[in-house]
């Protein structure tokens, strides 16, 4: 959810809203608005595959390993950095 909030800050700043709130939906909405590293796009796609709860046909939820959780946290930091670089804020959070 933290990653979604970072994306939503971007969209609200730009006066746009995504069609959905999966990580893939947020990336699609961000296309053309910001530059995102292709490796980050891959990481987000992997993360999105762990919880597919928006489908009416199939509910998918996988449990990540401790190493995968660490990877997801690192991806979250990269998303935050990517968005803060492109938002006209006075200063990002100090951490």
Rounded (to 5) percent helix, strand, coil in the chain: 55, 5, 40
What tens digit of pLDDT does each residue of 59-79 get? Answer: 667 788 899 899 889 988 988
pLDDT at position 54, please?
59
Tokens for 40? 């980050």
Task: Report which DSSP code applies to 34.
Answer: B
Residue 61 belongs to what H/E stretch?
strand 60-61
Domain map (residue ranges) of the chain: 2-86
Which residues in the chain show pLDDT less than 70?
Answer: 51-60, 88-95
Q: How much is the pLDDT for 66?
A: 93
């Amino acid at each position: 959810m933290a990653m979604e909030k970072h994306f939503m800050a971007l969209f609200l700043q730009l006066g746009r809203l995504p069609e959905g709130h999966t990580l893939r939906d947020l990336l699609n909405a961000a296309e053309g608005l910001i530059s995102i590293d292709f490796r980050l796009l891959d990481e987000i796609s992997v993360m999105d595959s762990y919880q597919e709860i928006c489908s009416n046909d199939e509910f998918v939820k996988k449990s990540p390993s401790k190493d995968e959780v660490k990877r997801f946290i690192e991806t979250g930091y990269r998303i935050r950095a990517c968005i803060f670089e492109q938002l006209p804020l006075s200063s990002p959070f100090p951490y």
